[in-house]
């Protein structure tokens, strides 16, 4: 599943041992939401996890999947004003509104129409985008142009406004899975879905905190190399990046990518290669990781000053084309030497 700003989720590596443990270890692997998942937890109780997971995914897909024509969000995007959204939709909508405001509009679930226009999304690119066309498209972008009414239906200022929660729904799905496990009294688990993660407790196989890895953007194809190892305890982490689609400046050698600025509607050059965020929920980590990619390095630093419980690890290309790191103090505490 693609994120709003054509981001490619970075792969992460999980580390564990195989020592004996008194509590039973359970691990499930499969495919969901257009990507792969891995869930590992410790419990002596028998849990019908796979059946429950299918139920969770069906419920979320029927609410927010833009790939399912009969989903609520697809009906809303087609202009159906009678759809009453469910609690999943409301939670993701409210979280999106929070990040939209705190990122000064750079995280915007309505930007997909611009992403497609420039050829960065699944839709057909426009052959030409002049100032007149850009102005018309910008009128359809802005999360403040849409709201949930008291009766649970959606109001859009323009019927053509297109809503897409792909940049945050995957993180939300992980949170729902975590809530299910905790309701079953599971206190030690690690959930990974398409590179996004949430962990609680410890990896009881080695009585240590869960440790995951962030890919090195400069690794050779087919040869995996880690940039950093990160410990997770009662927190979530999401990584967004588009370094696999970067361009190289022929004069300076600097790597850069094109990122859509929702405020201007223009495709801007950005030197951020990836953004990893640790937060209390995976939904927020997912959304802010996308927001920082769109904001760029300097604007991200300014926004971060006003955020609580959000830690970030940004890899970026300097003017000489070398990779550098910006890491918030809280994220540094979670790095493993």
Binding residues: 167, 286, 290
Tokens matching residue 247 = 């361009």
Tokens matching residue 131 = 């100032």
- Separation of CA 102 from chain center: 16
Q: Which of 201, 192, 274, 275 is nearest to 232 (CA)?
A: 201
**Residue numbering of the annotated binding site for Mg(2+):** 167, 286, 290
Cβ(5)–Cβ(259) below 8 Å: yes
Query: Which residues face 203 on adjacent strands?
Result: 208
User: Which SS3 state, helix, strand or coil, does residue 284 take?
Assistant: helix
Straight-line distance from the first to the last Cα atom of the chain, in angstroms, rounded to the nearest whole number: 32
Tokens matching residue 103 = 């990122």
Cβ contacts of residue 332 below 8 Å, gap of 6+?
none
Tokens matching residue 29 = 């692997």
**What angle, 0 to 180 degrees and rounded to 10, lies between the N-to-C axes of helices 169-183 and 87-102?**
130
User: Can you tell me the distance from the alpha carbon of 228 to that of 213, in angstroms, rounded to the nearest whole number?
Assistant: 6
Tokens matching residue 189 = 């688990």
């Amino acid at each position: 599943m693609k994120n709003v700003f054509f981001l490619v989720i970075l792969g992460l590596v999980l580390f564990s041992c195989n020592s004996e443990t008194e509590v039973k270890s359970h691990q499930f692997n499969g495919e969901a939401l257009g990507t792969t998942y891995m869930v590992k937890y410790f419990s002596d109780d028998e849990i019908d996890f796979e059946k429950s997971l299918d139920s969770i995914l069906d419920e979320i897909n029927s609410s927010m999947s833009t790939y399912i024509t009969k989903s609520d969000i697809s009906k809303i995007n087609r202009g159906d004003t009678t759809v009453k959204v469910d609690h999943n939709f409301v939670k993701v909508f409210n979280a999106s509104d929070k990040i939209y405001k705190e990122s000064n509009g750079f995280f915007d679930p309505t930007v997909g129409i611009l992403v497609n226009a420039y050829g960065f999304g699944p839709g057909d690119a426009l052959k030409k985008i002049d100032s007149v066309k850009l102005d018309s498209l910008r009128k359809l972008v802005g999360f403040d142009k849409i709201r949930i009414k008291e009766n649970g239906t959606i109001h859009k200022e323009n019927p053509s406004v297109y809503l897409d929660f792909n940049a945050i729904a995957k993180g939300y799905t992980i949170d729902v899975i975590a809530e299910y496990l905790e309701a079953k009294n599971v206190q030690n688990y690690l959930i990974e879905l398409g590179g996004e993660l949430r962990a609680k407790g410890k990896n009881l196989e080695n009585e240590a905190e869960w440790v995951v890895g962030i890919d090195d953007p400069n690794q050779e194809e087919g040869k995996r190399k880690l940039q950093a190892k990160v410990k997770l305890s009662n927190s979530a982490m999401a990584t967004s990046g588009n370094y696999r689609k970067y361009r190289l400046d022929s004069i300076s050698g600097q790597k850069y990518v094109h990122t859509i600025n929702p405020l201007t509607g223009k495709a801007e050059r950005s030197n951020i290669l990836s953004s990893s965020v640790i937060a209390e929920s995976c939904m927020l980590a997912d959304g802010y990781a996308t927001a920082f990619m769109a904001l760029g390095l300097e604007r991200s630093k300014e926004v971060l000053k006003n955020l609580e419980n959000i830690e970030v690890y940004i890899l970026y290309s300097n003017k000489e084309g070398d990779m550098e790191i910006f890491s918030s103090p809280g994220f540094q505490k979670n790095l493993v030497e």
